[in-house]
Structure 1
């Protein structure tokens, strides 16, 4: 609650005007009248919600959680632990014995020797094919060196001669075509560009620059006119409206809003004090009307009656039950001892008396024949 929180440090207050002082008192009175019922209803709902959570919802949630575990979790855990896991282990053992072990035997004693034999045969065949391939390669190399190489050299000599002749013809034709292109196309085109197209382009550029300057001057004049029209008709009235109307109204509304917020905070804290006092009064009233009479009845009536019932009825019944249990345990112990003796007599009658335990021979000589520091039992130092 707000009443239990530490109060914030006081901030340095700003100087206030008469408008804030005139608005503060009526606003705080109205807000206090409106907030007190809301705060009391809120505290009542909080207390009721906590009581409902502690008494109803939390035990109900725990019960539902236990029921959910009992219905959904524990059956599946039991099914997994006591049915599926043993069944899976059994199936795994059967799969191992029926599939993996025979497959391992088949791989080890059948497929591995067969693979080794096939690899030996493949190595022999590969060695034979390699010998044949080496013979064929040697024959092809002799044919290439003794037949194909001289023929290729002759063909290349003929092709080089033909290429030289064709290169000489191409150079002559290229020179004639280049001279014709230069004096029939390039020179007339340069003359037309220099004496016809360049002057026409300069004239068109000068006209375009003049037209652009005229249009820029016209646009600049229109822009200046529109700027001053917009400034006089829109900006100055909007600035006057903002400076002389909206800013003062906004300041007044800000003062009113701040006072309403502070009034709500004060009213909420005062309503907390009122709600706490009402809650304590109702708690005290409930304690004196219901709790104290019940406590008095429990201490003055029920406790003596319970003690009397305990001393007169429960303790004798408990003593009788303990004596009956003690007698029953003694009877059962005597019966077990009788059964044990009868079983021992029957075993002795059928199998005979048990053999006495045999004493094992000791490694050290007994009595006075034990080793001492003053005597020796070795063959070298024996007297």
Structure 2
């Protein structure tokens, strides 16, 4: 399997790489550790701020936004704009669409059909015969003009051929072509010589010095810079990981110190002092005070009920003394009438079953 294969052998490193690695890693570690500590501190502060401030603030702002903007706009849309739009649509249909539809169906359509019949009759019985006559006349005139033009064109073509084309072809074949070939040969010779001179001049003045500069200066310098950049990048990664371990250890130490200085004493104070004191205050003060408050409330409710009943009796006696006894209404029997006996086969009154 591929997992059982040994890793590929790495190429041997030179003395320059070994000599640069340790100083570069030490310098980078010294520079990176404070940055990593600050980064971890800012990340922890950001997480704490997000959990304790930003998230509740965002929820509060979201609730306030929904209460102040979303719900009023939804209510406005649902209870105002939609009914108004429905009413306007109904009014538009009744006042505009329905009259226009009726006018189109009962007025414009019959008028358009009548106009179409009139236009078809005019075209069929008036314009079509006139157009056919004009077309026949135009074909005759066109035939005459075509015959005259063909004769003129034939004569002009013969004159142009023998006065211009034949002399121009002879001049091109026997004069211009040999002269052009000679000039082209001379230009090729000159271009070849000038190109060779320019090529060797540019090669000697630019290409060979640039090649030497690249081979003996830039390439070795680039290899050295590449090794240095690779070592710096490896050192940065190594230093960042080491700084992360140091930052984690420092954070754990600070967390443990904070827990032993503040959290554990506060927890012990809550468990050993505040909880028993709270229980004592609850059992000796709050519960008796709540029971006394409930008893006082019950007595106050009973007293108010008795006072209301006394006031009601006094008002009834005063009304009886001033106006006398009220007249009693006759009792009305509001009960339902008794149901008759249910019908049976023996007590039926139909014709077929009557005794």
Report if TM-score (shorter chain) is over 0.5: yes
CA distance in 1, matches of 2:74, 2:171: 103
User: Is this contact kept in 1: 2:345–2:353, CA < 8 A?
Assistant: no
Cα drift, residue 36 of structure 1: 0.8
SS in structure 2 opposite 1:353? Answer: coil
Unaligned runs of 5+ in 2: 1-5, 127-132, 317-325
Distance 1:11 1:278, change over 3 A: farther
Cα drift, residue 357 of structure 1: 1.5
CA distance in 2, matches of 1:220, 1:334: 134
Q: Deviations over 1:25-82 (max 9, x none)?
A: 1111111111111111111111122222223333334444455555x43894598499
Q: Counterparts in 2 of 1:1-383, with a 5 A limit?
A: 14-18=10-14, 19-68=16-65, 72-73=68-69, 76=72, 80=76, 85=80, 186=158, 190=162, 194=166, 197-201=168-172, 202-326=174-298, 351-359=329-337, 361-362=339-340, 364-365=342-343, 370-371=344-345, 379-380=351-352
CA distance in 2, matches of 1:15, 1:208: 66
SS in structure 2 opposite 1:301? Answer: helix
Unaligned runs of 5+ in 1: 1-9, 127-132, 145-155
Task: Say what the alpha-carbon RMSD is for the aligned residues.
Answer: 5.3
CA distance in 1, matches of 2:330, 2:297: 39
Q: TM-score, normalised by structure 2?
A: 0.64
Moved more, 241-250 or 57-66: 57-66
Q: Deviations over 1:137-165 (max 9, x none)?
A: 9xxx9xx9xxxxxxxxxxx9xxx9xx9xx
What is the aligned residue count?
A: 299
User: Is this contact kept in 2: 1:371–1:377, CA < 8 A?
Assistant: no
